[in-house]
Amino acid sequence: MTIRKAPSAEDIRKFIGEAPDAPQVTPPSPARVSTPSPAHVTDQAESDADQKSGGVIRGNKQVVTVGFTRDLLPHIDAASGMLNISRAAFINMACTRFVKDVYRDYQNKLESRS
Protein backbone atom coordinates (compact mmCIF):
# COMPACT_ATOMS: atom_id res chain seq x y z
CA MET A 1 0.00 0.00 0.00
CA THR A 2 1.37 3.38 -0.96
CA ILE A 3 0.58 6.54 0.92
CA ARG A 4 -0.56 9.01 -1.68
CA LYS A 5 -0.86 12.09 0.52
CA ALA A 6 0.15 13.09 4.04
CA PRO A 7 -2.57 12.59 6.64
CA SER A 8 -4.21 15.71 7.98
CA ALA A 9 -3.62 16.89 11.52
CA GLU A 10 -7.22 15.96 12.35
CA ASP A 11 -6.69 12.40 11.04
CA ILE A 12 -3.55 12.08 13.16
CA ARG A 13 -5.34 13.33 16.28
CA LYS A 14 -8.22 10.92 15.63
CA PHE A 15 -5.81 7.99 15.13
CA ILE A 16 -3.92 8.76 18.34
CA GLY A 17 -7.13 9.44 20.27
CA GLU A 18 -8.46 5.97 19.42
CA ALA A 19 -5.43 4.21 20.93
CA PRO A 20 -6.23 2.07 24.00
CA ASP A 21 -3.91 4.10 26.27
CA ALA A 22 -4.96 7.51 24.93
CA PRO A 23 -6.00 10.00 27.60
CA GLN A 24 -9.68 10.89 27.52
CA VAL A 25 -9.61 14.66 27.07
CA THR A 26 -12.56 16.88 26.41
CA PRO A 27 -11.71 20.28 24.97
CA PRO A 28 -12.74 23.19 27.21
CA SER A 29 -15.57 25.39 26.06
CA PRO A 30 -14.48 28.91 25.02
CA ALA A 31 -16.18 30.38 28.09
CA ARG A 32 -13.98 28.26 30.39
CA VAL A 33 -10.66 29.05 28.70
CA SER A 34 -8.55 31.50 30.69
CA THR A 35 -4.96 32.69 30.74
CA PRO A 36 -3.10 31.42 33.81
CA SER A 37 -1.74 33.97 36.24
CA PRO A 38 2.05 33.96 36.85
CA ALA A 39 1.56 32.15 40.17
CA HIS A 40 0.00 29.20 38.36
CA VAL A 41 2.56 28.93 35.56
CA THR A 42 4.74 26.42 37.44
CA ASP A 43 1.72 24.30 38.39
CA GLN A 44 0.53 24.38 34.78
CA ALA A 45 3.98 23.34 33.51
CA GLU A 46 4.04 20.38 35.90
CA SER A 47 0.51 19.42 34.85
CA ASP A 48 1.51 19.63 31.17
CA ALA A 49 4.57 17.47 31.86
CA ASP A 50 2.34 14.86 33.52
CA GLN A 51 0.03 14.80 30.51
CA LYS A 52 2.91 14.61 27.99
CA SER A 53 4.76 11.84 29.83
CA GLY A 54 2.63 9.22 28.10
CA GLY A 55 3.35 5.56 28.58
CA VAL A 56 1.33 2.73 30.04
CA ILE A 57 0.92 2.23 33.78
CA ARG A 58 1.79 -1.27 34.99
CA GLY A 59 1.53 -1.77 38.71
CA ASN A 60 3.27 1.16 40.37
CA LYS A 61 5.49 1.85 37.34
CA GLN A 62 4.94 3.84 34.19
CA VAL A 63 6.35 2.29 31.03
CA VAL A 64 8.12 4.79 28.75
CA THR A 65 10.25 4.56 25.64
CA VAL A 66 13.86 5.72 25.76
CA GLY A 67 16.27 5.79 22.84
CA PHE A 68 19.96 4.91 23.13
CA THR A 69 22.71 5.01 20.54
CA ARG A 70 23.83 1.73 19.04
CA ASP A 71 27.28 2.28 20.54
CA LEU A 72 25.93 2.58 24.08
CA LEU A 73 23.63 -0.46 24.16
CA PRO A 74 26.42 -3.11 24.17
CA HIS A 75 27.98 -1.34 27.17
CA ILE A 76 24.64 -1.26 28.99
CA ASP A 77 24.13 -4.96 28.24
CA ALA A 78 27.65 -5.84 29.41
CA ALA A 79 27.28 -3.89 32.65
CA SER A 80 23.86 -5.38 33.37
CA GLY A 81 25.28 -8.84 32.62
CA MET A 82 28.10 -8.31 35.10
CA LEU A 83 25.52 -7.47 37.77
CA ASN A 84 23.31 -10.34 36.59
CA ILE A 85 20.25 -8.09 36.17
CA SER A 86 18.09 -7.18 33.20
CA ARG A 87 18.76 -4.22 30.92
CA ALA A 88 15.63 -2.49 32.25
CA ALA A 89 16.69 -3.02 35.86
CA PHE A 90 20.15 -1.64 35.11
CA ILE A 91 18.76 1.47 33.38
CA ASN A 92 16.29 2.02 36.24
CA MET A 93 19.08 1.67 38.80
CA ALA A 94 21.40 4.02 36.87
CA CYS A 95 18.70 6.68 36.47
CA THR A 96 17.72 6.46 40.13
CA ARG A 97 21.33 6.80 41.24
CA PHE A 98 21.93 9.74 38.89
CA VAL A 99 18.83 11.61 40.06
CA LYS A 100 19.77 11.09 43.73
CA ASP A 101 23.32 12.33 43.04
CA VAL A 102 22.06 15.41 41.21
CA TYR A 103 19.60 16.17 44.00
CA ARG A 104 22.31 15.68 46.67
CA ASP A 105 24.73 17.95 44.77
CA TYR A 106 22.01 20.59 44.43
CA GLN A 107 21.25 20.46 48.17
CA ASN A 108 24.98 20.77 48.97
CA LYS A 109 25.24 23.78 46.68
CA LEU A 110 22.30 25.45 48.43
CA GLU A 111 23.79 24.75 51.87
CA SER A 112 27.16 26.18 50.86
CA ARG A 113 25.49 29.47 49.86
CA SER A 114 23.99 29.97 53.32
CATH number at residue 99: 1.10.1220
Domain annotation covers residue 45: no
In a domain, 54, yes or no: no
Residue 9 belongs to some domain of the structure? no
24 against 15, higher pLDDT: 15
pLDDT above 90: percentage of residues in the chain: 31
CB contact at 8 A, 87 and 77: yes
Residue 37 has pLDDT above 80, yes or no: no
Position 48 in a domain: no
pTM here?
0.48
How much is the pLDDT for 53? 60
CA separation for the pair 48, 52 (Å, rounded):
6
The whole-chain average pLDDT of the chain stands at 76
Domains: count for the chain: 1
Q: State residue 77's pLDDT score.
A: 94
Q: Which of helix, strand or coil describes residue 38?
A: helix
Q: CA-CA distance, 41 to 71, in Å (whole number)?
A: 39
What does the pLDDT average to over 64-83? 92
* Inside any domain, residue 4: no
What count of other Cβ atoms lies within 10 Å of the Cβ of residue 77?
Answer: 13
Higher pLDDT, 88 or 19: 88
Q: Among residues 68, 89, 67, 65, which one has the least CA distance to residue 79?
A: 89
**Per the domain annotation, does 42 fall within a domain?**
no
Is pLDDT above 90 for 11?
Answer: no
Whether 95 maps to a domain, the answer reads yes
- Average pLDDT, integer, range 91-97: 93
Q: Can you give the residue range of the structural domain that contains 68?
A: 61-114
Is there a domain that residue 33 lies in? Answer: no
Exposure of 91 by Cβ count < 10 A (0-12 exposed, 13-18 middle, 19+ buried)?
middle
